[in-house]
Amino acid sequence: MPFAPLLTATIETILNRLIQDNPLLIRQFARLKGNVIQVHLKELDQTLTFVFSQQIDVLARYEGTPDCYLSLTLSILPQLREQANITQLIKQDKLILEGDIQLAQKFSQLMTDCKPDWEEWLSRLSGDVVAHTVTQAAKDLRHFLQTQHQRHQSHIAQVLTEEWRIAPGPLEVADFCDRVDEVNSQLSRLESRIQSLTEKL
């Protein structure tokens, strides 16, 4: 993977900076010191190794044996906080875990709590007023885009069900299900009558 060094350097820099700025993350990081956790990201088909020492070192290649190995998609990482979820994900083939389950939980907690405070970071560069204005504008833009996306999805659903008649509407689906249930009921009654007549003959 050609961009592996850039990827690992970026992740390493961001994680270490976030941890330094947050006392809660410093405590979580301390619980992982001395451990090596290897994560295979299915989306990128890339394995990253997180070495916890005085800081986090992120490596694209690692020759040793990690204390914990995970193969997963990023979307399920937050679910690893609960041991019951880990068992369920393994059964569903969404997670491969080798090694210490508690390490996986601690790692998941640290990674999901490492959320940057963009307003704080921007304020260091541009001042509080500009940082607040930019952050608020970004939030408003995100909300606007989410609203537009939902409206677009709703419009497409209406076009498919009402105008083009490609997909059935909710009421049509419910009516169809009711009819199927009625046919099943009639079939059961018919089978019972046939069975009764057969026994008489």
Predicted local confidence at residue 48, as pLDDT:
92
Phi, psi of 50 (to 5 degrees): -105, 115
Structural domain boundaries enclosing 131: 119-200
pTM above 0.75, yes or no: no
Same domain (yes/no): 36, 12: yes
Same domain (yes/no): 14, 101: yes
Ranges under pLDDT 50 in the chain? 1
Same domain (yes/no): 92, 123: no
**Measured distance CA(17)–CA(56) in Å, rounded:** 10
Chosen domain end from 96, 116, 136: 116
Predicted local confidence at residue 153, as pLDDT:
74
Same domain (yes/no): 130, 165: yes
Q: Name the nearest CA neighbour of 62 among 47, 80, 79.
A: 47
* DSSP-derived secondary structure letter, 162: I
Chosen domain end from 116, 147, 167: 116
Chosen domain end from 116, 135, 151: 116
Predicted local confidence at residue 1, as pLDDT:
47
Q: Convert the pLDDT of each residue in 85-127 to its tens digit.
A: 888 888 888 899 999 888 999 998 888 888 765 556 556 556 6
**Measured distance CA(160)–CA(195) in Å, rounded:** 45
For residue 69, the cross-strand partners are 38, 98
